A and B are shown apart, each in its own frame.
Chain A
Amino acid sequence: MDYYYAAEKLKSAGVEVPEELWPHIEGYISRREEDAKQMWDFLSREDYYAIDRLAHKVRGTGSSYGFDRITEYAGEIQNALRENDRNKLEDYVRNLGDEIKKVKSIIDMH
């Protein structure tokens, strides 16, 4: 993977990854992709506590790596859980998954 070109492409998509973290981006996104899959799994089992734990973790790191939207969607997932709003919860889990897919497709091109 060419970190430089991937970072440039991400930058044009509005994501600015700190240079020090470029070598870790691929692993970071793979783990988030796994988290998004797990969230659907927990959602089908109505395990809201597990979703909250996962969203808490995702929210904590997204911004540090430059992925503000990932942090934002994870925060909204936690809000939906507090509001007990299942539709909103599903929407944001979907948004989070789509955002991760988008980032991954950019990274995978390089």
Chain B
Amino acid sequence: MYFSIDSFFGRTVRGAVYLSLLLFCVPIAAAQDPPTEGDYYRIETLPIPEDIVLEVGGMAQMPDGRLAVSSRRGDVWLIQNPTMEGGRPPYYHRFARGLHEPLGLAYRDGALYAAQRGELTRMRDEDGDGRADVYESVYSWPLAGNYHEYSYGPLFRDDGSMLVTLNLAWIGHGASLAKWRGWMLQITQDGEMTPVATGMRSPAGFGHGPDGSVFYAENQGDWIGSGYITHVEIGDFLGNPEGLRWTNERDVPARLSGLAYDDVPDNGEPLFEAIEEVPSLKRPTVWFPHTLLGISTSDILVDSTGGAFGPFEGQLLVGDQGHSRINRVALEKVNGVYQGVVIPFREGFQSGVLRLTWGVDGSLFVGQTSRGWSSTGRDPYGIQRVVWTGETPFEVATVEARPDGFELGFTLPVDSATASDPSSYDVTSFIYKYHHSYGSPPIQQENLNVRAVSVAEDGLSARLAVEGLRKSFIHEIKMEGVRSREDLPLLHDVGYYTLNEIPGGPPMDSAAGAAPSARPTIERERRAEIEARPKRLTEMPASWTDGPDVTVTIGTEPGLRYDVGSFDVRAGSRVRLDFENDDDMMHNLVVVMPRTADAIAQEAIALGLDGHEMNYVPESDDVLFHTRLLEPNASEPIYFVAPVEPGEYTFVCTFPGHARTMRGIMRVVGAGD
């Protein structure tokens, strides 16, 4: 399978392969540890010249193999040899410059197109010097001037028209201060514009589905309980009502005409319930549970490599900026409605994943930027590519809805003993609130009974009979117990299926037997327990008649940081700590035992679905005190008695992805110091 050193010296062998041999290719069979993502999908990093600040905004594959990349600094770079053939470095050539934060890029008929903040621009090189010399304004839209008015695209349609999406401004909440913010627009080559749909909040990513339909990715925020992707059709209202301000304009699709902000219920019930009052409101196609599968969805790219990228042809890859990862979506259409499952795919990218593009060789280019949002990947920016090693991972390839459960498709045959055991699975359903507040905890959570499992003879599928499916809910399907015939665990053993529609048809033969009945909802009990927790006292104890001995105020700074690096308290003193979240994201503040912050942060991530409700504070003796999870522009005081043991205690934000930068030291000094 692998090239030998002899063959490398004996004839011309691609250096990239040689390089990967040295760095990555440990034969899987010989490894003792369970396989990792890298065994199947290798990440290669493109070197970037030191003097280029390549905060990636857009990427486009040119027909000749060059990769075009636009940057926040307004440049368009053409990268020759981006696949690093022959072990040679890529070559960077600047095609254009001076654009206003181009957050998209597309190539068509010899021209490059970019959405700048206020304009869709066509760039051409007419004198043949390799640099754009004609910059045409295809269509321009107004701006209020707010920093959060990002503009994305274009995405070319088959008819040569283009789609762009326009982010809401942020003024303490999302707002459409200028016309068409919060909308997707269709623009012809001649600059004729038609508004397509609204309800968008932060539509940084959009792309084609397997059949040419259009999907966009949304980020958690006001009116958006968690991230999702939604199939966009003309006249859709996609959730955030700020863009409805423009529904009386000319050319607005009939389904949206006249719809107003006040028509939208704001009662915290799930989005699907609001559809009864607002028929043009659209359910998300696939929810991406916040912090479990990323925190900020980005680009959407369908696997159209014909198998060059592995076994997921036709599925969607969806990037995540904050968590520096890519998730995978398998779609199906039930009762004419798209829905499907999202499953982790690959993590560990160097910066925030914003853009995805196929290279000509079927490898995946991943354009990245962090730019003040402090992504999990620590680099400020970068470009990497993902290469399939040729090995097939043991994965759930597909999840499809059935009248009474789900059918799972696997990439490799399963071990029928583990796969047919209902206790190998765990299914929980939940949904999010639909309201003007920022984000939502999971609500109406129920653990469902997997009644029976039937495994196909070839071992490539399993039918789950699940009691209590709920239409429009998210169904978490955990498959921890399933093994392959080679006794491998699933590379990713969880998926989140959004059950917009339940198909008709015959139920599964139930002869396989019954399992214990559903476990009770624990939501309410848990909440009461959390509220009683003394680690979070928000009222001053009555016994503190002289008030606190010391009061400390900690705020936030952009870039995931507290505005206080350290503070001192005396051992055993009475402390009031005020945490003020003036960022535009959610944060908490957790005081932990010395040198335990990293472990606690990991435990917080592992809380999974329960994390939000538990304020991302794990049950641990190492957690001393904490605030609740604070939405933007909120604050909370907590009262506690400082530890008697002097030392350097850490305070840290345990919201997933924040702990690396967002922490400081509470120095407890002895009473005599």
- Tell me, yes or no, whether A binds B: no
